[in-house]
Amino acid sequence: MSLFTKNMVAIDTNILIYAAAPIKDAEDETLHLRAKMLLQKITEAGQTIALPVPVVAEFLSGLDADTRSVAYKTLLQEFVILPFDDKSARVYAHVMAHRHHDGVWEQSKSSGVPRRCLLADIAILSVAEAHGLPWLYTGERKRFIPRLAENARLKIVVRSIYDEPFQYPLPLTE
For the segment 116-143, the average pLDDT, to the nearest whole number, is: 92
Return the pLDDT at 167: 52
The 10s digit of each residue's pLDDT in 76-86 is: 999 999 999 99
- Count CB neighbours of 107 within 10 A: 14
Residue 9 has pLDDT above 70, yes or no: yes
Mark residue 103 as left, alpha or beta (left: phi above 0; alpha: psi -120 to 50; beta: remaining). Answer: left
pLDDT at 31 (0 to 100): 87
Q: Would you list the domain boundaries of the chain? A: 8-160
- Per residue in 147-162, pLDDT (tens digit) is 999 999 999 999 988 8
Residue 4, pLDDT score: 55
- Which of the two residues, 122 and 165, has the higher pLDDT score? 122
What does the H/E/C string look like for 105-161?
A: HHHHHHCCCCHHHHHHHHHHHHHHHHCCCCEEEECCCCCHHHHHHHHCCCCCEEEEC
Distance of CA 164 to the CA centre of its chain: 18
8-160 CATH: 3.40.50.1010
Q: What is the mean pLDDT of the chain?
A: 87
Percent of the chain at pLDDT exceeding 70: 90
